[in-house]
Amino acid sequence: MKALKYLWHNHRLLLVGFSVATLVTGFFLVRFVAVFIYWQTHQDVEIERWMPIRYIARSYHVNRNWLLEQTGLPEGEYRPRLTIRRAANAAGIPYEEMRDRLLKAIEEKRAQ
């Protein structure tokens, strides 16, 4: 406790800076661990209508741009948060057909 009292009286700015740096590091460490745990438990999840293409790509460990190409949409239709339902609507096919198309492409890519 004496050391902390000494630092507070003689090196206040250093102590505050160190405390802020420790808190920021702790925040990013907790965030990293939470994201790591989330993606470890969400691998190869069942594709649902609400899922964006990049979420599916991350879950199935494939390249997002490659998966966007598999939707069959023209390049002008690509958007970062394009959901599978919107991709199916833009392609003029039912959601189930788009889901099956993507799953088949992913299986073929993994077989290579």
C-beta separation of 56 from 48 below 8 A? no
Asked if residue 45 belongs to a domain, the reply is: no
Task: Give the whole-angstrom CA distance, residue 75 versus residue 77.
Answer: 5
pLDDT digits (tens, 9 = 90+) for 1-57: 888 888 889 999 999 999 999 999 999 999 999 999 999 999 999 999 999 999 999
- Clarify whether residues 68 and 34 are in a common domain: no
Asked if residue 60 belongs to a domain, the reply is: yes
pLDDT digits (tens, 9 = 90+) for 61-107: 999 989 998 988 887 766 778 899 999 998 899 999 999 999 999 99
- Clarify whether residues 21 and 60 are in a common domain: no
pLDDT at position 74: 83
**What's the domain range around 20?**
2-40
Total of domains in the chain:
2
Asked if residue 46 belongs to a domain, the reply is: no
- Clarify whether residues 64 and 86 are in a common domain: yes
Q: Which of 60, 77, 59, 96 is nearest to 68 (CA)?
A: 77
Task: Give the whole-angstrom CA distance, residue 77 versus residue 87.
Answer: 8
The widest CA-to-CA distance across the chain, in whole angstroms, is 72
Asked if residue 48 belongs to a domain, the reply is: no
